[in-house]
């Protein structure tokens, strides 16, 4: 799962120490203990009491900023940031970041033809299979939902193979993430899977599919923090590697 020596040398050659300050966009005051993760190099750090931080980065690396009560942010490192050395990253409080929501009341007239047109449509389709007592839901954002459901039932290993096999670079990051204390601390404080999806470049639905097919309960998938989910995915991946080796040895 680790990088090759050639990849490590190439990464070290292009990287420099990147320094910047994180401030509150509204008050312009420095923010302490903001988590910063270099998504490309899978390294993390936090800001000091003056909002300052230093992290290894190369031009075009993406830095991910996370702080409780503030909107997360990603920035792309540029040559100018190294050149001028006075970069400030402003984070916006969630109270200011929330967009205005218009609540539309659904008033029924009593006339079926009119009321049907006014009511919202539920796009969370549920697929049931004859002989099984449970249904399988799939939203409209996933066109292959029916195929994935059928594949998981017929052969759970195939779904794992498709998900892991198509994301070798992202899965390789699992070990790096687990070895970085600052990233682990960040994940332990989060429950929204946002940082995980950024780090592993997996969709939330893929994470749920992986854990479902590794026999983790729905309760665990919904309530576990991101670090627990990461450890579960890692354990699942190790099981997959054993399964994959066994399959190859039988050929």
pLDDT tens digits, one per residue of 8-44: 444 455 899 999 999 999 999 999 999 999 999 999 9
The predicted pLDDT at position 60 comes to 94
For the chain, list residues with pLDDT below 70.
1-13, 97-171, 243-251
pLDDT score recorded for residue 214: 83
pLDDT at position 133: 43
Does residue 44 sit within a domain?
Answer: yes
Query: Bridge-partner residues for 90, per DSSP?
Result: 23
Q: Do residues 46 and 69 share a domain? A: yes
Claim to verify: residue 143 and residue 161 sit in the same structural domain: no
Considering the domain architecture, whether residues 144 and 161 belong to the same structural domain is answered as no
Please state, in angstroms and rounded to a whole number, the distance separating the CA atoms of residues 195 and 176. Answer: 14
Per-residue DSSP letter, 74: E
Q: Does residue 170 sit within a domain?
A: yes
Give CA–CA dist 180/168, Å, rounded: 20
Q: What are phi and psi of 119, to 5 degrees?
A: -75, 145
Residue 246 and residue 163 share a domain: yes
What is the pLDDT at residue 151?
A: 47
Shared domain for 136 and 179, answered yes or no, is: no
d(CA 196, CA 207): 9
Q: Which structural domain range is residue 116 located in?
A: 107-154
Same domain assignment for residues 11 and 91? yes
Same domain, 185 and 149: no
Number of domains making up the chain:
3
CATH code, 62 = 2.60.40.1120
Q: Are residues 83 and 121 in the same domain?
A: no
Q: What pLDDT does 72 receive?
A: 93
Question: Do 146 and 162 sit in the same domain of this protein?
Answer: no
The model's pTM is 0.66
Q: Provide φ and ψ at 38, rounded to 5°.
A: -80, 105
Where among 122, 154, 186 does a domain terminate? 154
The predicted structure's pLDDT at residue 139: 39
Q: Is residue 111 part of a domain?
A: yes
Question: In this structure, is residue 30 part of a structural domain?
Answer: yes
Q: Is residue 102 part of a domain?
A: no
Q: At what angle do helices 226-250 and 168-179 cross, to 10 degrees?
A: 130
Q: How confident is the model at residue 122, as a pLDDT?
A: 43
């Amino acid at each position: 799962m680790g990088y090759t020596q050639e990849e490590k040398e190439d990464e070290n050659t292009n990287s420099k120490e990147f320094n910047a300050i994180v401030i509150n966009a509204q008050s312009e005051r420095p923010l302490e203990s903001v988590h910063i993760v270099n998504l490309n190099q899978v390294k993390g750090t936090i800001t000091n009491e003056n909002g300052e931080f230093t992290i290894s980065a190369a031009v075009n690396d993406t830095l991910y900023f996370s702080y409780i009560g503030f909107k997360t942010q990603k920035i792309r490192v540029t040559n100018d940031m190294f050149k001028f050395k006075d970069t400030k990253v402003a984070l916006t409080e969630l109270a200011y970041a929330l967009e205005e929501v218009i609540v539309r009341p659904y008033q029924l007239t009593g006339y079926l033809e009119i009321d049907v047109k006014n009511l919202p449509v539920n796009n969370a389709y549920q697929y049931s299979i004859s002989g099984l007592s449970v249904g399988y839901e799939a939203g409209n954002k996933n066109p292959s939902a029916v195929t994935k459901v059928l594949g998981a039932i017929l052969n759970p290993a195939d779904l794992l193979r498709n998900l892991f096999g198509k994301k070798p670079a992202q899965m390789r990051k699992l070990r790096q993430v687990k070895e970085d204390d600052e990233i682990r601390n960040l994940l332990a404080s989060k429950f929204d899977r946002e940082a995980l999806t950024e780090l592993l470049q997996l969709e939330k639905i893929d994470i749920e599919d992986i854990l479902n097919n590794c026999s983790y309960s729905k309760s665990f998938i919904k309530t576990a923090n991101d670090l627990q989910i990461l450890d579960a995915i890692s354990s699942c991946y190790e099981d997959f590697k054993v399964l994959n080796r066994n399959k190859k040895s039988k050929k």
